[in-house]
Structure 1
């Protein structure tokens, strides 16, 4: 068998164990030599009496690499080794990079210019709107948006890029054929058709808790910067930010309401020196690529004509949900006029109605 297939073999029986695979590579000079090494040689490296050594040797004797390749082919996937020319360049420079990536879709050279957008699973309407807007604007200037396809901010980021017809890459904490969360099956298909879905975990791998820190290091490693939109003080998004700092990448954060627990993570990062992000220009400036951004103001309401009452009400409705009664009070307009104005603004796509007679803007900035 060719050398390349032995990378697949070790990744399949030692998922999420990049450091150990690299130890084997260094000890034997190649992963082919490691695969062909005697049981005694393997035991001497991982421990003669360890259960891990026994499990490893058993897995090695049972694995059929051709079957693994056939299973990948069945779902239209492939595997990429660290030695392959299409292995992501940004990821090569991180400590103990995944020796093998399993991929649905295509990783392209343009993905070197990538930004991660991450945040809370139980995000607010404000956070979802910000993530989707930032992702769309990054996509429009040719920047690949990377996230983890989780609920909340991750999904909103992928959707924002797709709506803008840009490239997005999803990094999973499971096998390619194990969709998590389940409701994101269609999203996975959309991402893989125009971008890429990747993981270091082989087919059939379940989304176990310990997989996600591993996934987070890949998210940050693929990108030039990580932007945290909403996150609690102890969250996966902050773990991703920590990995980004360790990898020498930029860390940025979107501020939120001081009364929201989801603002504590981003505010903590800002206090520690992370770039405060109010709009996409802030991200581009931090990366030194402002020349990519169109000179016109992308936050203009697409030159939609507004009458006086629409303009007045729109200035009151922001990304923070506001109750109908408060809009009436602040606008100093009759309640019926405010109601009809809100309906018109919603039809024009400028605001969204939320449960409980609350309203929020559809635009960032």
Structure 2
């Protein structure tokens, strides 16, 4: 639901302003967690944690990408990286906190506590967020077209008694233009298709380590405890928090497009080589678990960086007049991968008789393929190699 919501609401947010959609997304987010406390059947959770929570994230995500781009020019990628990194830090800490709470209260109590905490956090965020008004929206909402003012060429300096009153031509109030969901010029640009196809393919391998790593650990270390089995996922989220900030700073210095290619390529290489080699040399359990933690740290650092680079790369390639709309259009490219990527990995694992080598080659291979496809967009806009872009 996040890609669909981002595409649908991103355009509306650019046209009508962010604050009303921040309220809508926040209310829907809190309701999804609160109603989960009263869910008793699987289909209840599909509605609350799937439909409602996914749609609320789809409403809020384009805003989180677009707001830093409004206020920062030189450090746009760094600012966006810090904002998006919050989701990684929150995901890692939330897993630890919920695990601790479940030892002292019921699942319903945990959901109620979580919804109360989110009311406070989202309320503070709403107060602190401030949107920067764009000239095109201000003109569209203005009651009169001020550009129609015509000042007499004989008028003297302002403040003089002889200044003539300007002749102002009043026109009918302008209304907001009808929402145009798709920019046809983008679909005629091969750079857009290079970026879109690159993200579509790369996302197929993005979630595979995060979802399959506990199962992989169980297969390599059957006697491991549940807490140690899920710890690498938490570590990967914390590493992603650090990675998105550092990679954002790197993008400001070396260029967003260059950094996006590097992040996708290293993410793929990490899976193809490091994940593929874990436990293949007769190592003991401690060494195997250490390699798993090393893989979680390295993949967590690079694996999710492309998400925080979408807005800076989109602004560099296509301009930054509608950041939320562009972010939504790029996010929806990941819909097939988010929907089918992990399912395809599970099918490969089952059909290959639990062969993890094929799974890692699949997940890393599609990310490398996505990085290579993006090179068309990179060199179409900037043919030179060793240049900040």
User: So what's the TM-score if we normalise by structure 1?
Assistant: 0.24
Q: Which structure is higher in helix share?
A: 2
Structure with bigger RCO (C-alpha 8 Å, 6+ apart)? 2
User: So what's the TM-score if we normalise by structure 2?
Assistant: 0.23
